Chain A
Amino acid sequence: MATNGPHRSGNTNQSSRLSRPTRIFSKQTSEDANNETNNTPDKPRTMTTALYGRFDLEECDEGVKINHVWDSESGLPTSRLINEKRPISPSAARRDSHWLAQQASFSIDPDMDSDVALMEDILGETQSIKHSPDPLEEISQERPQLDSPNQLFPIPTEESQEEPITETLSSSSNFRNIEKELKLNKKNVFILSESGKPIYSRYGDEDHAVHLFGIMQAFIAFVEDNKDELLYFSTDTHNFVFVHKGPLILVCIANTYEYPDQIRLQMNMLYNQIISQITNTQLNRVFQEYRNFDLRRWLTDRFLSSLIELMDEDPSYLLQAIRCIPMNNTLRENINSTIIQAGNKNKKVLFTLLIANTRLIAYVRHKSYKLGPSDILLLFNMVHSTTSFKNSENWTPVCLPDFDNRGYMYAHISYVNETSAMYLILLSTNREAFFDLKETHTTIVEKLNSHGYLQKIEKSIRYADYTMPQIKVPEVRHFIFKNFRLNQYTMPLYGPPYVDEKERERLYGQYLYLNHNLYKPTRPAKIIYTVGPKETLFAWIHKEFEWYAVFDPLISKPSAVDAINKLCRWMKNTKDELFLRPATY
């Protein structure tokens, strides 16, 4: 049995956290553990076949080691594997445990004898997972209400953090420090090239994490060698999420409420952020020609760091939707017509966006072209992370990956005046259009000012946020509503009890959980209603909208439904103020 295997011979009791099985998910493996036991090798392999790759993080006397289980032929746990349990020589085990904390190595032998024992371990484990026919029930079993992040992802205790990791080759390296840092930071993000060269690290100097980059590259390469794609693996505390896109590898090691799919979405946003600086064309070309290219020379770290921070708390990125400033409809029409008139003069503007901080005020587009929400979010981030835009007029090439990842658009970005949080982005495909766009900008600002619209907008910005008591649906504590057609969402200010940061974070965790269950690939839910100790959660996905809400934990189902209906009516009556409709040139 597994417990007798050589992998268990290490100091597993000293660090139970590390000795727990670590699950790997690749494209061909399933999220649905229940399927594993039902699968036979004859069945065609689909997205939901069996879990057939697994790593086992384990502390042994030579450091941390990763074992893996893999049936490379069928890709499925087979009985042959289990029955043909071969004796494992101690020397082989010793050799395999050459996994050093300081000098990190990677083991790659799919036929390792000792895997057999671990394979049994998987099967034993998966059989113990119960199948629940009721999706709602299953959801609540799968994830009970969270009291604190520690409940879901227990943070390692002092002891396990302090536990010495044997270094057979000690001294110069700082691998141990890195490991400590990895645990301290809730969410680490690394970007590297396919050849394992560092590009970005959220914390610390990426040069100091090069051991780690080597291992990450090895992980990816190892799984891809089997014509598969590594998606993520999870330990008790952390999710390790991998995205291999184009010539880049993005890795996130997170101890947060986020689910791997949600983190993957974020990694894709980061990839797009890189594209927006250098275009897909140039990214691919440079790595085709120079595989050892150091991409850091082309990138501004600031954009990436700022985007990661925004994604940590701003639901826009999770929902892939824009939030706008609620505003009287007449005022919106007036602003639009001002923008259209100014833009029609030179015909060089494709898109105009009027923005305050990271919220949209007006959006006018050329009648044949559209911008996706992810591109607009990248523009928000670009301005958000560049303080110098405040004091100057800017003309910058920017690639909008969703619109066209091959080349640049040219953006004129300028605030309406020194004191305002409001800025205009004018986009053109003509790189010589600076003076035309500058003129358009000036005309728009002058007109808005002379008609008094600017003051009215400033007032709307001040009153942009609403609270639940204002809506007069006291049963609802907080909600997020996304309009699919417009790709926009709205939500009230956080009221009690979500006033301190910790509670807000916990609430966001609940939204992440609801979102995960609406979108998970296996059996996504349409409606979720679940009662927990701290709140009752509600989520509803409809072809026109997506809705998340939290109620008092003691609310009855009929009153909750009643409250949702009240909110629906309110939403219907105020939708023209809450959401903006784009005008066209």
Chain B
Amino acid sequence: MSARRKVLLKVIILGDSGVGKTSLMNQYVNKRFTTQYKATIGADFLTKEVMIDDRLVTMQIWDTAGQERFQSLGVAFYRGADCCVLVYDVTQPNTFKTLDSWRDEFLIQASPRDPENFPFVVLGNKVDLENRAVPTRRAQGWCETKNNIPYFETSAKEAINVEQAFQAIARKALEQDAKTSCDIGLEPNIPIQPEPAKDKSGCCT
């Protein structure tokens, strides 16, 4: 109940296979990048502590597998997220087109309380590559139609915008967490009208 209480934020990263979800996370948490591609199996979990306005926040980042065969675990993983990060590859238009279905899938599976205002962040990854195929304007336009989702163009390889993007993600998640924190207190007044015990075995009968 104190203002200094610990905050833990659950962040889910979604997007097609190969767009760089794991790489972004590794760049952010471990400051590393590898060109080797290894498909994520199920989900990976990483944590990072960040300071946001003098507040120490632990981010629990759930990096999910993009491959379809792992989608059955979705419900369990999406549940209770504070922020959802949608990633696409700026050189692959298909990965951008599927953002809609990733977003819908998340909202269906996680069924957050207020789906309209649930915080998303969109990352267009691999901007270091030359064969760009999705223009910034197009991505921004999509984000605007979805209740102004913040949009970042990143490169996990060159560490471009990664830190900034995750800062924004943490901030968004914190807002979401704060919404649930301020208005719920423990109600000490739930009296009971117990029914007389019949033959329930009790202590010292």
Contact = CB atoms under 8 A, between A and B. Distances in A.
Interface in B36-81: 38-48, 58, 60, 62, 69-70, 72-73, 75-77, 79-81
A218 B43 contact: yes
Given A106-B43, A211-B47, A281-B190, A294 B177 contact: yes
Given A195-B80, A291-B79, A322 B58 contact: no
Contacts of B197: 368-370
Contacts of B190: 279, 281-282, 406-408
23 contacts: A98-B41, A100-B44, A105-B45, A106-B42, A108-B41, A169-B32, A171-B30, A172-B29, A197-B10, A197-B60, A225-B72, A278-B186, A286-B184, A292-B176, A296-B6, A370-B200, A397-B189, A408-B192, A429-B192, A429-B194, A581-B204, A582-B204, A582-B205
Given A211-B47, A278-B186, A429-B191, 12 more contacts: A106-B42, A194-B79, A196-B79, A197-B10, A198-B8, A214-B62, A225-B76, A297-B181, A298-B186, A404-B192, A407-B190, A431-B188
B118 to A, nearest CB: 10
Contact of A408 (B112, B113, B188): B188
A120 interface: no
A297 B176 contact: no
Given A214-B45, A485-B205, A294 B8 contact: yes
A409 B192 contact: yes
A5 interface: no
A149 interface: no
Nearest to A291: B80
A67 to B, nearest CB: 12
Interface in A268-297: 278-279, 281-282, 286, 289-294, 296-297
Given A96-B41, A290-B180, A429-B193, A172 B6 contact: no
A214 B69 CA distance: 20
B16 interface: no
**Across chains A and B, which 7 residue pairs bring their CB atoms closest together, nearest first?**
A195-B80, A370-B202, A221-B76, A368-B196, A214-B45, A407-B190, A291-B80
Interface string B146-181: 000000000000000000000000000000110011
Interface of A: 95-96, 98, 100, 103-109, 169-173, 193-198, 207-208, 210-211, 213-215, 217-218, 220-222, 224-225, 278-279, 281-282, 286, 289-294, 296-298, 322, 350, 363, 365, 368-373, 375-376, 397, 403-404, 406-409, 429-431, 485-488, 580-582
B45 A104 contact: yes
Contacts of B203: 322, 363, 370-373, 375-376, 486-488, 582
Nearest to A195: B80
A110 B73 CA distance: 12
A172 B41 contact: no
A296 B5 contact: yes
Contacts of A169: 26, 30, 32
A431 B184 contact: no
B73 A404 contact: no
B42 A105 contact: yes
Given A96-B41, A297-B5, A108 B192 contact: no
B203 to A, nearest CB: 4
Contacts of B191: 407-408, 429-431
Contacts of B29: 172-173
B110 interface: yes
